[in-house]
Amino acid sequence: MRFPSVAAQAIRVTPRTTWTFARVLAEDGTEGWGEGTLEGRSAEVAAEIEAFNGRLPALGPIPTDLVKAAAYSAVEQAMWDLKARAAGRPLAELLGGAKRERVALYANINRGTTDRSPPGFAARAAEAAALGFGALKIAPFDNMKEAYARIGAAADAIAGRAELQVDCHWRFDEPAAREALAECARLGVTWFECPLPEVPEHYPAILRLRSQANAAGLRLAGAETFIGAEGFRPLLERGLYDVVMPDVKYAGGLAECLRIAELAARHGAACSLHNPSGRCAMRTACT
């Protein structure tokens, strides 16, 4: 199969968010779609997507730059989509076949919570739990004065119905992360995500936080912007996280996410595919 054209498409879905997609078009008119949404950098990703014109079907090695990796990942997804459509087969079948009938999902209610008061978080959490989600995620630390009240309100609203996960968005240093982790444990949180910037000089501190989290009954999660199995390898070899979170939009696409998941399993870590973005990434993350 030849791939004569690659095009980028950007769609603004909120004042803050623009989804960025890659469309690969075959000569017979069949389309394949993938996603490379990267917040605040849509135009750069789109330019890198269109730079694949004339280079396909060979993708080459996965770039280590996040913008280029997002474009690469989008085109890789689109190529798999196109192959599946051309073959008339489910994408999961081409990737090795379905391994389970059901995939557990959590509801990330953070961006949709426009009322950022503790009662606003409680209402959104109760709504998601009522829909049947067994776990919910919030990112409450954009306002430190209300953060713990938000967590407590959400935890109370879903008590006995769902687990509560907290995303820190790399906001802390180690002492502040230890304090936040202890308070989250007291409030019944089960998952503590991305407390520290994920750079090598922080790896010893992240490992210490994992020990603290596990002792309190929480899992430590992270690595949503890491690229490729080789990018994840140092984290996994050092045992930094209970859960790694490759994102199909940045990690190198579908095939690379499978390699990352296999590597994580060999190191005793769980793998939870990350996606805060659009429909293509959600579809491929659940495939």
- Of the candidates 269, 275, 286, the one whose C-alpha atom is nearest the C-alpha of residue 247 is 275
SS3 content of the chain, % helix, strand, coil (to 5): 45, 15, 40
Count of other CB atoms within 10 angstroms of residue 210: 22
Name the band, by pLDDT with cuts 50, 70 and 90, for residue 275: confident
Which of 159, 141, 163 shows the shortest CA–CA distance to 150?
Answer: 141
CATH number for 5-94: choose from 3.40.50.450, 3.30.470.20, 3.30.390.10, 3.30.2350.10: 3.30.390.10
Domain boundaries, the chain: 5-94, 107-286
H or E element at residue 196: none
How many whole angstroms separate alpha carbon 216 and alpha carbon 11?
42
Per the listing, tokens 């293509």 go with 280
Report yes or no on whether pTM surpasses 0.85: yes
CB 34 within 8 A of CB 27: no
Q: Strand 219-222 relative to strand 270-271: parallel, antiparallel, unpaired?
A: unpaired
pLDDT digits 0-9 by tens, 111-162: 889 999 999 999 999 999 999 999 999 999 999 999 999 999 999 999 999 9
Do residues 175 and 144 lie in contact, with contact meaning Cβ atoms separated by under 8 Å?
no
Per CATH, the number for 107-286 is: 3.20.20.120
What are the structure tokens assigned to 278, written together?
A: 């659009």
